[in-house]
Amino acid sequence: MPSFKLVWRNIMRRPLRSVLTVASLMIAIFLICGLRTLITTINAGVEHADSRRLAVMSATGLFVELPMNYQAKIDRIDGVEMTTKFQWFGGYFRSLKHFFAQFAIDPVSLLAMYPECQLPPEQKAAFIANRTSCIIGDGLLKDPEMNWKVGDTVPLIGALHPHPDDKAWEFQVAGIYHSSVPSFDNRTMFIHWDYYEETLKRGGVEPGVGVFSIRVKPGADVARVIADVKDTFQDSDQRVDCQTEAEFQRQFVTMFGNIPLFVGWIGTGVLIAILLATINTMLMSMREQSSDIGVLKSLGFTDGSMFGHMIAQSLFLAVLGGGAGILLSWATQNAIANGLGANFPGFEVKNETFVLAAVVAIAVGIVAGIVPAWRASRLRCVEALRGTE
Amino acid sequence: MLVPLSYNLRSLFVRKSATLLTVLGIGATVAIVSGILALKQGFATMFTAGGRDDVAVFLRPGATSEGDSQFSRDRGLELIKTVPEIATGEHGPIASMEAYLAVLLSPVRGGVTNVPLRGVQPMTFELRKNELHIVEGRNFAPGSDELIVGKRLVGRIQHCAIGETIVLNKTPFKVVGVFEHPGQFGGEIWGDLDRLLTAMNRYGPNRIVAQLKPGTVIGSVDPKDVLTNDTPPEPKPGSMAARLEHDPSVPAKVYSEKEYLASQTVMLTGILGGLSFILGLIMGLAAVFTATNTMLSAIAARTHEIGILLATGFRPFPIFLSFLFESLVIGLVGGVVGCLMALPFNGLKAGTMNMQTFTEMAFAFRVTWQVLLSAVIFSLVLGLLGGAWPAWRAARLKPTEALRGRA
């Protein structure tokens, strides 16, 4: 068992070097936490998917609208408990700098099917009652220029669907929702379908639906419902694709292409760089300690205990640096999430990532210590005392 | 008098393992930063190559990209006929209406992705005659259910090969040719405008592109302002852009093609630039710490030698320069190693999503000499910063104490 006091004294022999090494380790572990979180965030939608929910979209692509009357046909399929619809509104507030998602939805069925969209009861009632109202996610309020309150009116420029009177669309904020899972975006605005449809029709545009969401009855055969939905529209104008929510979300993951792979490469690069740096530090400090090691060995300390002594020093630095990195990553995650904003919603470091980072730090400590420790254990005390190293 | 450079170079060889580890550490940092720069370069090339000043892009007012722009067929036709700045060729105005839609297709690697599909009119090929070339097979026949595919899609997306069939909604289209274009079109699928509109149940084109008469000034807004300003910027008063924005019959937002492409890439270019900067800064800091450690340890081990240098009459400043040089050499070698590690990425194909239109973008890493130069400069800065403090310490040693071996 290595003596802690001896380890500490050797760490403090060159305080500047130890501090720099710990700081490098901290930076590396912080980066690894951040990079890993980019990947887990991309995958979050798949993990939090509700197994009873299905998504129906055009078989051609997400940007092809489905006719509204499909909903009634889906409702008639055996095993379907409830359906709701989503249509991308595609507007912006003032300029593209304040980008966020807006969907036209049916309030009653949306709130019934998505319990993760949490809203105080009185706000829920107000939203349902007022056709020109909207609800917004609490994440949006972090933008100081979009710090809206209940009762405010939000003007949106309809980039995808211009207002028929050639002016901005206006929605009153009826409620501010909180999302209980990272996969349900907390920076979205939901507006009333009826008002949306009526306004578009006034301008001579027939609205379509981007995605229908289905909740199946408990115990229903999901695979059969999916097959039935596809069959129902096989010969219609628009064929549909029906997927479980998990598969639907996975399609967005694959759209990121090889970006997750590149993020992995960057992480590997960071890991290699920090491993080399720690090995370097340990080799330098082992060289300086060789005469001490000679003394200890001549006093009767075994080769094995010298091996442990060096590993313990390396591990000590790694645990200190790794711990600081994890702390830094935990402390800055909200700031990073705000900085990423709508471009990358849902950034939140998971506990698994912290565990992974801790394992990586410990592994770096052990691996970096092995070569110096092996050299220390093989050192012959006569040579070490003579100081020929 | 300066300390001979050979002293430092030989010293680096004496401490092989420390030098090597530091060089590799800096190399890894430089490789990552240059990798991201190469990605940014490839992306920028993909989008701006083929972006022309003499081609105008017409969108619906308020639209942010061709994805959310829409014209009816009649209005599109009217615009082409009435805008006087559009150049005229043998067969009428050199202009084309274009339909743009993302379709869900399967990459060869599995999963699904949105591939841009573009319906064009024959005049497009007149407009693009110098930049777009059919490299395999033939062009699609106007009015037929045929497609040509961009070369960057071949081998990456299923069914993108001559003779294969791509089913769009319910209509099968036959792939008859492969075309090459240095810009974004090289990653798209093209077909006849009217056939595609019919197959996809669409009523009109998304945008209009046209060649402009020489010397036309558009006067559109700066694309960067669109993303950074709090309020949407207005085009220059009295310009072509300002006139069309409030045209009573066919109002339109007009950009030069170059400006349009810039407006579509502002966001991702910014993200990649920010990423390389932040990673460079953070990893660079760690690399500087490592270099400082190495140099401090090198100086500690050579305190005696420094004492001899001082005793034989070398002044502190040349000693400072001498150790700074040693650190710069470590940085430079690390930079070269990093560049060598980054080189294999050159030409590697990448694909990701265009956040504005949610379509797949295919592009390649480009390790250009600018990228390599930035990498080497970056590595020299790392060496400089890492060596400054240790070199200063070396220069401040007192000869007597240094000779006694006390740092």
Residue-wise pLDDT tens digits, A200-248: 999 888 899 999 999 999 988 999 999 999 999 988 888 898 999 988 8
Residue-wise pLDDT tens digits, A153-206: 999 988 888 898 888 999 999 999 998 887 788 889 999 999 999 999 998 888
Q: Give the CB-side neighbour count of residue B121, counting CA atoms within 13 A.
A: 20
Cβ–Cβ below 8 Å for B282 and A31: yes
A348 three-class SS: coil
- Answer yes or no: are the C-beta atoms of B204 and B119 closer than 8 Å: no
Confidence of residue A389 (pLDDT cuts 50, 70, 90): very low
Average pLDDT for A37-50: 84
- Answer yes or no: are the C-beta atoms of A347 and A337 closer than 8 Å: yes
Cβ–Cβ below 8 Å for A239 and B228: no
Q: Is the pLDDT of residue B21 over 80?
A: yes
pLDDT of residue A158: 86
Find, among B215, B216, B221, the residue nearest to B254 by Cα.
Answer: B221
DSSP character string of B86-115 = B-EETTEESEEEEEEEEEEE-BTTSS-EEE
Which of A36-50, A299-313, A342-356, B35-49 is the least confident region?
B35-49
Which of A90-99, A166-175, A198-207, B352-361 is the least confident region?
B352-361
Which residue of B114, B290, B339, B348 is the best one to mutate when testing the A interface, meaning the one whose CB has the most A CBs within 10 A? B290
Query: Which tokens hold the place of A26?
Result: 């901290």
Number of other CB atoms surrounding residue B9 within 10 Å = 12
Q: Is the pLDDT of residue B360 over 70?
A: no
Dist. CA A89–CA A86, nearest whole Å: 9
**pTM score of the predicted model:** 0.78
Confidence of residue B382 (pLDDT cuts 50, 70, 90): very high
Cβ–Cβ below 8 Å for B286 and A273: yes
- Touching check for B104 and chain A: CB below 8 Å? yes
Average pLDDT for B41-55: 78
What is the residue-averaged pLDDT of chain A?
89
Average pLDDT for B324-349: 90
Which of A60-74, A216-230, B211-225, B317-331 is the least confident region?
B211-225
Q: Is the pLDDT of residue B358 over 60?
A: no
Residue-wise pLDDT tens digits, B243-286: 888 888 888 889 999 888 887 777 777 777 887 888 888 888 88
Average pLDDT for A59-80: 90
Q: Is the pLDDT of residue B242 over 50?
A: yes
Most confident of A329-333, B6-10, B101-105, B341-345: A329-333
According to DSSP, residue A49 is labeled -
User: Amino acid letter at B72?
Assistant: S
Find chain B residues with C-beta within 8 A of A272's C-beta.
24, 28
pLDDT of residue B231: 65
Q: Give the CB-side neighbour count of residue B94, counting CA atoms within 13 A.
A: 17
Most confident of B235-249, B265-279, B314-328: B314-328
- Answer yes or no: are the C-beta atoms of A87 and A65 closer than 8 Å: yes
Average pLDDT for B317-341: 93
Q: Is the pLDDT of residue B313 over 80?
A: yes
Stronger pLDDT, A209 or B298, i.e. the higher one: A209
Cβ–Cβ below 8 Å for B21 and A256: no
Residue-wise pLDDT tens digits, B68-102: 888 888 889 999 999 999 999 888 899 999 999 88
Q: Is the pLDDT of residue A131 over 90?
A: yes
Give the closest of B21, B60, B232 to A276, CB-based.
B21
Q: What is the largest CA-CA distance in chain B?
A: 93
Q: Is the pLDDT of residue A118 over 70?
A: yes
pLDDT of residue B407: 47
Cβ–Cβ below 8 Å for B286 and A23: yes
Average pLDDT for A22-33: 93
Confidence of residue B337 (pLDDT cuts 50, 70, 90): very high
pLDDT of residue A384: 78
Residues 108-137 of B with CB under 8 A from A: 110-114
